[in-house]
A = this chain, B = another copy of it.
Amino acid sequence: MSERNRPVPRVGMVGGGQLARMTHQAAIPLDIDFRVLAGSTSDSAALVCGDVQLGDDRGLADLLTFAKSCDIVTFDHEHVPEPVLREVEAAGAVVRPSRDALRYAQDKVRMRTRAAELSAPSPRWRAVTSIGHVESFGAEVGWPVVLKAASGGYDGKGVWMADSVEQARTVLDRAVATETPMMVEERVAFRRELAVQVARSPYGQVAAYPVVETVQSGGICHEVIAPAPGLDEERATHAQQLAIELAHALGVTGMLAVELFETGDGVVVNELAMRPHNSGHWTIDGARTSQFEQHLRAVLDLPLGSPRATAPYTVMANVLGGEDPGVFDRYVHVMARDPELKTHFYGKQVRPGRKIGHVTVQGDDHNELLERARTAAAYLKGDAK
């Protein structure tokens, strides 16, 4: 920093995954010093970022060292334990989102409790420690029910559907064995899944992105259509307002993603994430300000950028790894077939089912776009010819 003659702040992101990689890209034009705390030189962000600290991105010692070198600390993931965050904040680091906010993204029981206080539309739920709790809950709301680990889950991990007491018992026994706090939720009969992202700065400025439709499979987001086709305007505004209220009430700084179920009556809060989120990857190519730039602006308390979509529709599809690791050979064909397609690869080793990248397309007809994005993603995985 001494080589520059202006006070550029340094943002440190904890975790070296694809979110940090894409935030690094966004930091370049803003000319913000950006560092990453990564576990390995082969981490997605560590492969491209010029300023990497290697270390344990969940451990106190490395986090303290890292925080000392940064003006602002933020996160690629939500897995830093609360006691570690407490120590980092106590040492004087500026952590955004703060521990106070992050705990609602880390602990689903806390989140559901707070959402109820705020009258945010939510599924019925209960914290459970015995099969008896699940049984009575199932009797009350009807089977199947959804069992969730209260913390530590992502991409469908830590979520189990149970059709019966017997199935619930198997899940719960395993949870008890690993001392995982558990909760149960009603299974919401939803039409489709939506997501809405807002950015909030410490100053209190907010910016809400268009509500998108997310297509999930096996708990993993596969496709995003932005904006959600045919969504009632009033309902879209309501969803944005709900996300803004949650951001304010939970004290979020940075990006907040609210995953929603759309039912016949309205929307129901499913999950929260306080970081850039897969449901917002479309914004890199499809919005005036990407979620990664917006996250940086928000955590730095800079004025937020326009979240406006730049085309009638943008469709994103995740690229998952397949059996054949030869992605690069296939991607030449995808480029030749669809010159309008944007490909984003994360530099990850290919493993079956692993998110290794995403593609986006823009245009007027969301069905045609979805077909193009799906075709490209399937081809890159090695599933299609």
CB of A304 within 8 A of CB of B339, answer yes
For this chain, the copies found in one complex come to: 2
CB of B306 within 8 A of CB of A339, answer yes
CB of B302 within 8 A of CB of A343, answer no
Report Cα–Cα, A6/B340, bound state, in Å.
24
CB distance from A3 to the nearest CB of B (A): 4
Report Cα–Cα, A347/B5, bound state, in Å.
10
CB of B306 within 8 A of CB of A336, answer no
CB distance from A76 to the nearest CB of B (A): 15
Does A153 belong to the interface (CB within 8 Å)?
no
CB of B303 within 8 A of CB of A340, answer no
Chain B binder among A44-52, A236-244, A366-374: A44-52
**Residue numbers in B under 8 Å from A342 (CB-CB):** 29, 288
Does A83 belong to the interface (CB within 8 Å)?
no
**Residue numbers in B under 8 Å from A34 (CB-CB):** 48
Q: A8 and B328 in contact (CB under 8 A), knowing A41-B3, A335-B302, A340-B306? A: yes
CB of B6 within 8 A of CB of A335, answer no
CB of A5 within 8 A of CB of B325, answer yes
CB of B328 within 8 A of CB of A7, answer yes
Supply 24 A–B pairs (Cβ within 8 Å), ascending by A: A3-B349, A6-B325, A22-B28, A24-B28, A24-B48, A25-B29, A29-B342, A29-B343, A29-B345, A34-B48, A46-B50, A288-B342, A289-B339, A297-B335, A303-B332, A303-B336, A303-B339, A305-B339, A306-B339, A306-B340, A308-B340, A310-B310, A310-B311, A310-B362
